[in-house]
Structures are given as C-alpha cells and as structure tokens.
Amino acid sequence: MQPSLLLFALLAAPAIAAEPLLPYTIVDSGLQRCYNNQGEMPPPTPGQPFFGQDGNFRGHPSSYTISADGVTALDNQTGLTWQRVPETNLDGILTHADKLTWEDALAQPAKLNAAKFGGFSDWRLPAIKEIYSLFDCRGTDPSGAQGTDTSGLTPFLDAKVFPFIYGDVAHGGRVIDSQYASATKDVNKSARGVDKVFGVNFADGRIKGYDQEMPGGSRKFKFFVLCVRGNPLYGKNAFHDNGDGSVTDRATALTWSKADSGKGMNWEAALAWVQQMNAAKHLGHDDWRMPSIKELESIVDYSKSPDTTHSAAIDPVFSCTEITNEGGKSDYPCYWSGSTHVGHLGGAAAMYVAFGRAGGFLSERALAGGPPTRSQGGSPGAGGPGAGGPATGSQGAGSSGADDGPYRFVDVHGAGAQRSDPKTGDPKLFPHGRGPQGDVIRIFNHVRLVRGGGVTAQTSVPATPLTNPPAARPAAQPHAPSSALPTSEAGRSLPASPIIAALDTNHDGVIDADEIAHAVEALKSLDKNHDGKLTADEYRPQMQAGPGGQSAMPGAMPGGAPGGAPGRPAER
C-alpha cells in the first residue's frame, strides 16, 4: 500500500469509535469467489446464469483486534470480545481433552470470571447467533473424504485468530468432530427423547442440534467451548413491518420480503428467480438478492419449531409457505442462501437454513438408542445427483449396511439448523437421505429476498485465493500464533503494525482496493479510548516477549500449566 494512501485513510477518519455501527452487525461470509453447479466460475454479471450469489456481494468484512496479552480477540464489527482458544484444562495446549459436556460448558464462564480472564469478569457462554458470527464460508467441508490427513483442509473459522484442531481420529472420532457449544437449547427433544443443544461445527460448516447423550446412553456429547463478553444486544432482532410487503430488521439494517417464493427451486433457478423479481421491481425495488447464509441465519427464531409452537422458526411478522415434508407431515421450508458450501472436491452444494424440521431418516435400531452405523456419506460439495448419481455412502434404494431400514423421518437437527443440499439433481435418488443420520436431500428449496444492510456489489474476483490457513492436524498441537505476530527465522516475535493489521481484514498480507475503500471503518478499531483520534500508543507496534521471556499461550487460563508453571510460548 502506498504511504500516501495510508495517510489519506488516517486523515479521512473524522470520528473514530470502537463500538459497532449496529447492535447486530452481520459479518460478511468471507466468500469472494463465485461457483456454478460444480465448481468455481468467473464472476457472473446481471442477466447471466448464477448471478446474485454470495460472491457477487461484499458485506461488513471480518476484523479482529487481539489483546496485548494475546488471550482475547475483539470483533470490531460485532463488538463481541472472544476467548481466543477453547483450552479448558490449564495445560497450555489445545487438545481434544479440552472438550466439555454441555453442563460443564455452562459452568465454564464462572471459572473465567473468577480468574478475571483477560481482565474481565463478565464472560458468558455464547448464544448460537453469537458463536455463528465467527463463521467463515471460506472453509472446506471434509465430509466423505477418504483418509485422516487434515493438512490441506481449511476450517470455517479464522484459524489465525482462533487456533483450531480437527476431530480425534486416533481415538475413534471423526475428522469433522470439532463442534463448538452454544447456550441455545433446541426447543425439541430428539427422537430418542434426549435434550438437544445447538452448536456450530467449524470443521464441516454446519449448525446442528446435538443430542446431549450419545447413542447407547453411556457417554455425554462433548464440545469445544469459546466464551464471549460484551454487546448484550447481539443476536436480538428488531423487526418492523413496513406495511408494503417488506420487513426491516432495525438491528441489522437488512430489509426482507415478508413473503417467501411460494415454491421450491434448485439453486440456479432460485438465483434466476431473484433476478426476475428485480426486473419486475418487486415491492418497488430492483436490488433484492438471495441472502448470504449468515444473513439468513440472523432471522431464525430458535424459540419456535413446528412441533412446539406449530410454526416455522421465525417471527410471526413473516409468512412462510406450508409444505408437506418427506415424512408426510405438515412442515415449513428450507431456504436457500447464496453461499456455496465448498467440499473437498468442489462446489456442487449450497448452504440452507431449515425454518421447519431439519429432517433425516433414522432406522428403528438408531431410534432405539443404537449407533447409526451406516456410512457417513459423500460431501454435498463433492458429488450428488448433479454429478452422476448419489454420492458414495448415500442410502438409496438397494443400499446395504448394518443399519439398513426400515427408516422413519424425524427432525434430527432441529428447526434453525444450517446444512447444505446439492445445487441440482433429483431428490428421488436419495429416498433415505444421506449421511449417518440420513439428512434429507431436498434440492428444491424456497427463497426469501433481502436487500440493504450495507452490502455492496462486487464486480471482480480477487487475484489470489482468499482462504483461511489450514488448521492444525488432529493430534495435540500448540496454539497457532496470531497473524498480527509474525516471527523471524530465529523464532523471535517481530512487531507488526496495528494499522496494517487493521486494514488487512482478510489477513492475506495484501491491502487491496476493497480494503482501502473500507479503511475508515477498519481504523476505528484502534481508537481504544474513543476520543476520535489515533495517538502513538494506539498505532505503534507492541513489542512481544523475545527468547529471554515467556508469556502465556494465547487463550491459556491465568497461571499457565498445572502447578503454576508458565504457559508454553506460542508456536505454529
């Protein structure tokens, strides 16, 4: 970046404040590339097939400020401050032993508060909308991949800011077993009568309601846990009926169509339908879009479900088309997002949110408490009907396995779950769903239009891939360092410019044109005392401990390792 541009960015900030502009800012999904039904494509333009997807738009870019001690990260967009590492047993290393049952997760904030972790005593377990604010769509879904090597995978989380490990394959887990807990319970119990809790799986890119008790009843489900503090308004909608067929959420500044599409469509047809609505100036506007997955999830009401409130999981200010689901019951649709769910082999799936039941087909054996032993199934982004038939492991007619039939349709993941479908194909090829819990493959999903929210059109694709770094391998690993703390060949921490770190919102080492355009917003995060200007103590690099002195690892509990030993220094 040229010095003159940086000086301009500094001088162009008449008023700098650290607080978010909105109480419920929806952070951009991170997707800046575009996809057709199979893989990446050049960015489509208006009137072309696949125009209007997530990669055609740019929202509020992710931006974090890491604390001087390295243990917390402030999300400059949401105003939420996060524990950086889900390390809970005080040994200074992130491993699978740090996972907690939900009951223990509920108790974790009190431990942090008693220790004044990061200098604060108001930590809480995040609600599902809060933990989902960290979701980054540039991840890679490993579902259906062969082998256990995770070195080439990317999690759905910024691993430079939040160190991450995949599932414990060495001890019987799956690569995808990196679920993070929320404080939000599913209002339904599972088909086995077990309480369910919503969590975000940053390994495979989904929200699901997880049974607190594992099949067989001998073990409790365990999560990684990140605690949060600040902005108590985050995740709370403020819907206003505009009286013209639209609804504005004053908390997010997004305006939604009150009614949905009224019919299900495959992903390409859904994008084309949105263009048709714009050509017709639907409700007086021609800038409607299919929402990103993070925008769509923001309007879920997790206190509602078809089986408890006999409604969709959404505020009654909206109308939802009633459907008959695959089990023959009255239900409500899943809604497409414009966000592609990239799998390990391609981009043939797109993400959706279930505003009715997140259905699946379970066998009588599984419903009786036995483990669902059928295949995990192929990645939605790697195959599916659009790629020549069911993916490996799908439970189509004539498939075999220890858990084969008879199957019953149940709400396996809860209203408000975020999953994905193949973008095109014939759902009849999946009569019993796909995956270990028989996730329904519907393909023809509904659409709800959105506009506004500070989102702008993006007309070009980045010159280089914009991806998060690969996460650590499943074995126990030390925490990864922050991107703001580069190291020399000798291993000594080098001071990084806070200004450059703030401007480089996607952490790719380049200040591009879009980041320059958002420079004022990014620089606001550096004004710690909210006086509207940047002083030397705010923009100068902070020197880090060198070889002569160790500091606690990012996110480690005060006191470091057991016995009061200092935590290990951060290393990759």
pLDDT score for 508: 62
* Residue 357 confidence (pLDDT): 98
Is residue 272 in a domain?
A: yes
- What pLDDT score was predicted for residue 290? 98
Which DSSP string corresponds to 541-569?
A: PPPPP-TT---PPTTPPTT-SGGGPPPPP
pLDDT of residue 478: 33
The tokens for 547 are: 């070889």
* Structural domain span for residue 343: 266-452
Structure tokens at 358: 């997140």
- Domain membership flag for residue 275: yes
CA neighbor of 265 nearest in space, from 314, 329, 333? 333
Whose CA is closest to 355, among 336, 381, 342, 328?
336
Whether the CB-CB separation of 370 and 215 falls below 8 Å is answered with: yes
Instruction: Confirm if 496 and 68 have CB atoms less than 8 A apart.
Output: no
The answer, yes or no, to whether the previous bond of 406 is cis (omega within 30 of 0) is yes
Q: Which residues of 389-407 are buried (b: 16+ CB within 10 A; e: fewer)?
A: ebbebbbeeeeeeebeeeb
For the chain, how long is the longest CA-to-CA vector?
70
| Residue 62: closest CA among 505, 548, 366, 479 | 505
Helix, strand counts (H, E) of the chain: 10, 24
In a domain, residue 314? The reply is yes
pLDDT score, position 498: 72
- 245 Rama class: left (phi>0) / alpha (psi -120 to 50) / beta: left
Q: What is the radius of gyration, based on Cα positions, of the chain? A: 23
Q: For residue 45, count CB atoms less than 10 angstroms from its CB and return exposed for 0-12, middle for 13-18, buried for 19 or more.
A: exposed
Q: How far apart are the first and last CA of the chain?
A: 28
Q: How far apart are CA 205 and CA 419, in angstroms?
A: 8
Residue 559: exposure state from Cβ atoms within 10 A (0-12, 13-18, ≥19): middle
User: Which stretches of the chain score pLDDT less than 70?
Assistant: 1-20, 216-218, 369-405, 459-497, 506-510, 535-572
Total of domains in the chain: 1
454 vs 61: CA distance, rounded Å: 11
Residue range 165-192, pLDDT digits in tens: 999 999 888 999 999 999 999 999 988 8
220 φ/ψ angles, rounded to the nearest 5 degrees:
-95, 145
The string of DSSP codes covering 16-64 is: --SS-SSTT--B-----SEE-SSSEEPPP-TTSTTTTSGGGEE-B---E
Q: Within a domain: residue 502?
A: no
**DSSP code of 169?**
G
pLDDT number for residue 142 = 92
Pairing of strands 407-411, 239-241: unpaired
* CA separation for the pair 112, 108 (Å, rounded): 7
pLDDT, position 383: 42
pTM of the model: 0.77
Residue 552 lies in a domain: no
As a whole number of angstroms, the distance between CA 34 and CA 267 comes to 13
User: How distant, in Å, are the alpha carbons of 136, 477, 478 from that of 474?
Assistant: 20, 8, 11
Residue 354 forms part of a structural domain: yes
Residue spans of alpha helices (H) in 407-505: 498-503
In a domain, 115, yes or no: no
Question: Which of 568, 561, 564 shows the shortest CA–CA distance to 90?
Answer: 561
* Closest of 406, 319, 450 to residue 54, by C-alpha: 450
- Contact present, 108 and 183 (Cβ < 8 Å): no
For residue 309, how many C-alpha atoms fall within 13 Å in the half-sphere facing its CB? 17
* Interatomic CA distance for residues 331 and 312, integer angstroms: 8
Domain annotation covers residue 112: no
pLDDT on residue 374: 56
**Residue 50, SS3?**
coil
Q: What pairs with residue 195 in β-bridges?
A: 189
